[in-house]
Amino acid sequence: MSKYLFLLLVVAFFAWYLSYSATRLDRLHHRVETSWANLDGLLQRRAAIAIEIARSEISDPAASLLLTFAAHQARDASIKDRSQAESGLSAALGILLESTEEISGANEKALVQELRELNAKIKMAIAIHIDAVNRTTMVRSKPIIRLFRLAGNAPEPIVYEFEDDVL
């Protein structure tokens, strides 16, 4: 009798553990979604600012061309090309930010300031996103989670390459 009771307890504990692990993983997937949504939004804003800068008096015609091109590429890129496009935009904006001393005009200064603040936020968003991805990947790789396919159909979270070299 007590043997069955013990078995029942073990099964019940196991079932609880599975459900607990599934909830844990589900939460992590949600965290990755949130952090990516946040990062994506900031990157879109960066592209918008880049286009504004290209139209302003900060940039010479060559820089304008480069910036506009890079910004549109980053905005329209498919998931596959996103990383490269964002890196391109980072590089284009990086060149511009190196020589901001000569910039005069309140509007232009405000634009550059906005870009700087946005960059700081993007850095933070990337750190948050990378941490969420790492943690999720780690939990997903646990044997019990792989064995019981607790990740379900949720896509494997990825870190984009551009995140390493953003400005």
Min dist. Cβ of residue 95 to other proteins (A): 26
Scanning 52-60, 93-101, 121-129, 153-161 for contacts with other proteins by CB under 8 A, the matching segment is: 121-129
Residue 27 touching other proteins (CB under 8 A): yes
Size of the site for other proteins (CB under 8 A): 23
> How far is residue 158 from each of residues 3, 37, 80, 94, 136, measured CA to CA in Å?
46, 13, 12, 25, 10
Token pair, residue 159, equals 């870190």
| Distance, CA of 162 to CA of 47 (rounded, Å) | 15
Closer residue to other proteins, CB minimum distance, 7 or 124: 124
Residue with tokens 């890196």: 87
**DSSP string of 36-50?**
HHHHHHHHHHHHHHH
* Alpha carbon distance 62, 87 (integer Å): 19
**Per-residue string for binding with other proteins, 122-161, x by CB under 8 A?**
--xx-xx-xxx--x---x----------------------
Write out the residues near other proteins by the rule CB under 8 A.
20, 23-24, 27-28, 30-31, 33-35, 37-38, 41, 121, 124-125, 127-128, 130-132, 135, 139
